[in-house]
Amino acid sequence: MADCYLCGKRAVFRTEAGPLCAGHFSKWYEDGVANAISRYSMVNPGDRICVGFSGGKDSTVLLAALCRLNLDAELVAVTVDEGIGGYRDDTILAAKDTASRLGVEHRIVSFKDICGKTLDELLANSPQAACSVCGTLRRRALNAAAREIDADSIATGHCLDDESQSVVMNYLRGDVTRATASFNSNSGELFIRRIKPLCRSTERATVAYGLCNNLLVPLPECPYTRYALRKDVRTWLGKLEYEKPGTLIRIADGQEELLSKMPKAEGEMKILGRCEKCGEPTANRLCAACQQLERLM
């Protein structure tokens, strides 16, 4: 790769403006995260932010970048231990190490504590449902943990690739509710506001930032990934982005514009009350997590 166009040092990443060395690239990446935070008014002065911190590359970069930005906010990292054999133990060790190096308070909550079973035990007869069950229970676990630590928001490491994949997956599944849920999907006093500071940063840049700043260690892949629709969509969109750069941001921006044109009421999730079983907010008798657990237990 050519030299950094700002200082002439060896470049590590090519941006639209030109190639950048590790130092200038890191600054460029952090500026991108700061711009996303400002664009969507994600952080208010004095906020206490619960950072969903799996210990994987995206959430590790998220936590490090939030620390570097010196926000007027307090960070608490929360790792959800789903109970996935051969995978989660390693990532928890990495998470503990990173949180300690960054000097961030770190808490761990587990599916076992919340519902009495690990994800592996819940999925003994239906591993194909892994990501749907895992995602639903993890959302509930994070929401409950954030309430417990009195957080104002929950930050997750979803990057631009994840956001664009989700848009496409919602349409592939015909899931109109999720496809139109961005408006006030955080509405309701029991829900903690969700923020995604990496939502304008590509996965490629996120990984490069992690490598440049010695944040990443080799970790195993979740064994359930093979069942995930996201895996196919990720490959497909990755190929499109390579051949037609800008595809990911066009999908994300297109969805944002579409939602901005919708009458607000149609985009709102109706939160009518609490789940009869666990007390979490829901529009139904049982919340999505308890519905999943009823099917599986």
* Residues engaged in binding ligand SF4 (CB under 6 A): 130-131, 134-135, 222, 224-225, 228
Nearer to ligand SF4, 29 or 224 (CB): 224
Least distance (Å) between residue 130 CB and ligand SF4: 4
Nearer to ligand SF4, 6 or 229 (CB): 229
CA gap 269, 22 in Å, rounded: 42
Nearer to ligand SF4, 136 or 282 (CB): 136
Q: By the 8 A CB rule, do 132 and 292 touch?
A: yes
∠ CA 161-164-166, rounded to 5°: 105
CA gap 141, 248 in Å, rounded: 29
SS3 253: helix
Least distance (Å) between residue 14 CB and ligand SF4: 30
Nearer to ligand SF4, 229 or 286 (CB): 229
Nearer to ligand SF4, 22 or 237 (CB): 237
Least distance (Å) between residue 222 CB and ligand SF4: 3
| Exposure letters 113-149 (e unless 16+ CB within 10 A, then b) | ebbebbbbebbeeeeebbbebbebbbbbbbbbbbeee
Least distance (Å) between residue 231 CB and ligand SF4: 8
Identify the burial level of 163 via C-beta atoms within 10 angstroms of its C-beta, where 0-12 means exposed, 13-18 middle and 19 or more buried: buried
Least distance (Å) between residue 87 CB and ligand SF4: 7
SS3 110: strand
